[in-house]
């Protein structure tokens, strides 16, 4: 992956975690479906970063997927 150090630094700004792979499972449309956990969000961010070309690409992808906190500090994917 090109720019992997830059992408890793970008991710560390949002969370202080280390790299461990994985992707969260797909949610159903049911109201009683379990929410996306913090660990799933962390793993999804890392999966996005693994495929990103650089920090800008990573930021764009994370924003599209609702994995960057909004102005209220909430992760849209966890609503």
Q: How far is residue 29's CA from residue 49's CA, in Å, rounded to a whole number?
A: 27
Rounded to two decimals, what is the model's pTM? 0.58
pLDDT at residue number 54: 93
Q: How far is residue 4's CA from residue 76's CA, in Å, rounded to a whole number?
A: 25
The domain total for the chain is 1
pLDDT at residue number 40: 92
In a domain, 72, yes or no: yes
In a domain, 68, yes or no: yes
pLDDT at residue number 19: 45
The domain in which residue 38 lies consists of 4-21+34-78
In a domain, 51, yes or no: yes
Question: Which stretches in the chain have pLDDT values below 70?
Answer: 1-3, 14-34
Q: How far is residue 47's CA from residue 21's CA, in Å, rounded to a whole number?
A: 6
């Amino acid at each position: 992956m090109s720019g992997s150090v830059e992408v890793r630094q970008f991710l560390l700004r949002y969370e202080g975690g280390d790299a461990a792979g994985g992707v969260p499972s797909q949610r159903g449309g049911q109201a009683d479906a379990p929410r996306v956990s913090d660990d799933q969000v962390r793993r999804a961010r890392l999966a996005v970063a693994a495929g990103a070309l650089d920090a800008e690409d990573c930021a764009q992808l994370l924003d599209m997927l609702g994995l960057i906190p909004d102005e209220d500090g909430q992760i849209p994917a966890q609503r």
